[in-house]
Structure 1
Amino acid sequence: MSAWAAPETLHVPIDHHSAVQTAADRARELAQVCRMPGALPDRAAVLASELASNISKHARNGALFLQQSPMGRHASPDTALDIVAVDNGPGIPDIGLSLTDGFSTTRTMGAGLGAVRRIASDLTLRSAAGRGTFAHARLAAPGGAKPLADIGGLCLPAEGEQTCGDAYAVVEGEGSMTGLVLDGLGHGPDAAAASRRAVRTFLARAGAPLPEVLDALHSALRHTRGAAAAAVRVGAGRAEYCGVGNIRVAALSPHGITQQLTGQAGIVGYHLPAPRSRYLDVSDCTTLVLHTDGIDHRWTRDPDPAELSLPPTLLAASLAHTHRRRRDDATVLAIGSPQGIG
């Protein structure tokens, strides 16, 4: 069984050419905090610099999201780093050509995306004309552990806060995946403390029926601020959802949103209604998305078809970049291809 308790995500807006150096510095520092060996911190800095520079030169309203990859929280070589770049620029007309060494549209040396492809352990790139470019570069030590199954997630504090009161965790079992998303009441350190306690409880009870998981969280959070909480268990063809509070779940296909659910009224730790599970048919679903109310739920009313077809890591970043409410903590968890589990 593999388990992952997500750390907070570093967000670097690329709104000025000086942000390129900031992105490089933050990526190097994070790689060092994650104890990535040898030259990997410097390689992380190069990846962030090239992706940020690409936004600065060619796009607008861009950002980088930096975080430890969902591969377990162990020392190297099992640690990996995710660097995700998003923008609202004109898009890349020819992705294959853009990845060619020496190619440039700005009369520079043309290292750019070609360097990113060489340095990254994995690179996923999507672009649509007039809708922007999305890139996910993962950097891992050679021979390290494989990443957790196809998931994407971001956990961002409210503007002005140093700590995020939201959290998420994922446990991959035999033939299923169980995820938890939390929104600690309010924000700041007390909300974060409630969410951290809930994550610890969840990781110890993740194999239990979901209503029992919610009951356990309720008992654990009695002397905290409390939280909204939603658990989901995804297997072949079906997903079970059990939630209390304002955390939403949506099943996506390339053609639109197929189903949506939100939690029962209440606060875990204060007032818990009898938890009940509800179910989603995910036989035709490509991605299951859970998010706190730091993501504006109106994104589901008229979703961009290009966004719906993004893989989970890029989808989570796109939702956070485009639909985030910056005065609140925001968390997105995207679980890909649930029909393939098992």
Structure 2
Amino acid sequence: MTAFADVAVTAHVVVDHPSAVHHAASLAKDAARAAGLDATTVERAAVLTTELAENLLRHAVEGAVYVQRRPADSGAGGIDVTAVDRGPGMASPDRAMVDGYSTIGTLGSGMGAAQRLADELTLRTLPGLGTLICARFHAPGAAPAAADLGLVCLPLRGEKLCGDSAAVVDDPGGRTAVVVDGLGHGAEAAGASAEAVRVFRENPDRPLPELLTTMDRALRGTRGAAVSLVRLRPGTVEHCGVGNVRLLLVGHAGIAARDTGQPGVVGWNMPRPRTRTLPMAEDSAAVLHSDGIAPRWADSAPPFLLGLPPRLLAAALGHGHRSARDDATALVSGAARRNT
């Protein structure tokens, strides 16, 4: 059983000035050190982040860099550096990865260098819509990060603590995940969400209603939280939630299903929890997000967005649909697959 918990707050840098390039590189370096990466990998992360940020500054509209540290106790420690923009996109992404290719007369070493510097690099782009690039760096001896899992956990602008949190546990039969939205924001909300995640980590394999009931008892005396739990098994997803954390099942064809938790607050007169089981296609993804992600994103989501890999879809939701008035978390998981 592998646990992905103690989620670090996602660092976010809007790249609209040359000083932002240095700031993004410094945050990547700090996150890499905190994740236990060796000195060489720390420098690779800083150099690559500089390349991505400079590329945003030269070419992009509304570009930003997101730095997410993966927890060391997951067995897949390391960091993700994701660059997101809203245009103009790359007409020839394959050519952009070749050294010497440039659209503005520079040496054209940026994207080719990025591919060499990262342990993993994922790029998606659409002319007129934008580009997303996720570079992953792994801690020494760490297992590869789950390719079918993406996450952003963004505090309210101006806050250092995030009132949202998330955790994921993988076992041989599938995956169980939680997204928690502590009421309000700041330290008290962060404390409530951390307590819910603690309960989750101690009891990840219990029936979801039991887990939620245990959280309800643990959160009494806190300001409470909205909580959404999912358990993914081959062909299905179970959902059990209270409060305004949403579940959506997405695929290239559109939104296959939506579900929202029962009205109420975990820790304050929570209703008796109930579980809903939904069919889940193997090529789809489950999206859990707090109400800091505006729900209208799903009403007219383009196929490009719905077809993004989980690590990029989470960043795209945080970048394009985040509320300015709340913490925002998006967790995206691929479907559980049968062992063959």
* TM-score grouping bracket, smaller chain normalisation: over 0.9
In structure 1, the partner of 2:18 is 17
What CA RMSD, in Å, does the superposition of the two structures yield over aligned residues?
1.4
In structure 1, the partner of 2:186 is 188
In structure 1, the partner of 2:264 is 266
Shift of 1:163: 0.4
CA contact (8 A) 1:2 1:172 kept: yes
Where do residues 29-48 of structure 1 align in structure 2 (5 Å cutoff)?
A: 29-48=30-49
Does structure 1 residue 64 correspond to structure 2 residue 65?
yes
In structure 1, the partner of 2:114 is 116
Shift of 1:231: 0.2
- 2:139 & 2:171 partners in 1: Cα distance? 25
Shift of 1:21: 1.3
Where do residues 47-126 of structure 1 align in structure 2 (5 Å cutoff)?
A: 47-69=48-70, 72-73=73-74, 79-126=77-124
- 1:72 & 1:53 partners in 2: Cα distance? 33
Where do residues 235-274 of structure 1 align in structure 2 (5 Å cutoff)?
A: 235-274=233-272
- 1:321 & 1:141 partners in 2: Cα distance? 26
- 2:87 & 2:130 partners in 1: Cα distance? 4
Does structure 1 residue 317 correspond to structure 2 residue 307?
no
CA contact (8 A) 1:237 1:339 kept: yes
CA contact (8 A) 1:84 1:134 kept: yes
Where do residues 285-300 of structure 1 align in structure 2 (5 Å cutoff)?
A: 285-300=283-298
How many residue pairs get aligned? The number is 338
- 2:316 & 2:165 partners in 1: Cα distance? 18
Which structure 1 residue ranges, 5 or more long, are not aligned?
none
What CA deviation, in whole Å up to 9, does each residue of 1:111-164 have, x standing for no partner? 211110001000000000101001010012465322236110110000121100
Shift of 1:283: 2.2
Shift of 1:332: 0.4
- 1:341 & 1:20 partners in 2: Cα distance? 43
Secondary structure class of the residue paired with 1:72: helix
Secondary structure class of the residue paired with 2:73: coil
Shift of 1:73: 4.9
CA contact (8 A) 1:71 1:146 kept: no
Shift of 1:30: 1.4
Shift of 1:70: 5.9
Secondary structure class of the residue paired with 2:315: helix
Secondary structure class of the residue paired with 1:130: coil
Shift of 1:107: 2.0
Matched letter for residue 340 of structure 1: R
What CA deviation, in whole Å up to 9, does each residue of 1:50-96 have, x standing for no partner? 1111111111101111011366356xxx5311001110111111111
CA contact (8 A) 2:38 2:139 kept: yes
Secondary structure class of the residue paired with 1:18: helix
- 1:129 & 1:123 partners in 2: Cα distance? 20
- 2:227 & 2:135 partners in 1: Cα distance? 30
Shift of 1:109: 2.4
Secondary structure class of the residue paired with 1:193: helix
Secondary structure class of the residue paired with 1:39: helix
Does structure 1 residue 4 correspond to structure 2 residue 1?
no
Where do residues 226-241 of structure 1 align in structure 2 (5 Å cutoff)?
A: 226-241=224-239
Matched letter for residue 20 of structure 1: V
- 2:83 & 2:164 partners in 1: Cα distance? 22
What CA deviation, in whole Å up to 9, does each residue of 1:16-71 have, x standing for no partner? 22211111111111112222112111111111111111111111101111011366
- 2:183 & 2:283 partners in 1: Cα distance? 31
In structure 2, the partner of 1:172 is 170
CA contact (8 A) 2:36 2:139 kept: no
TM-score (norm 2): 0.96
TM-score (norm 1): 0.95
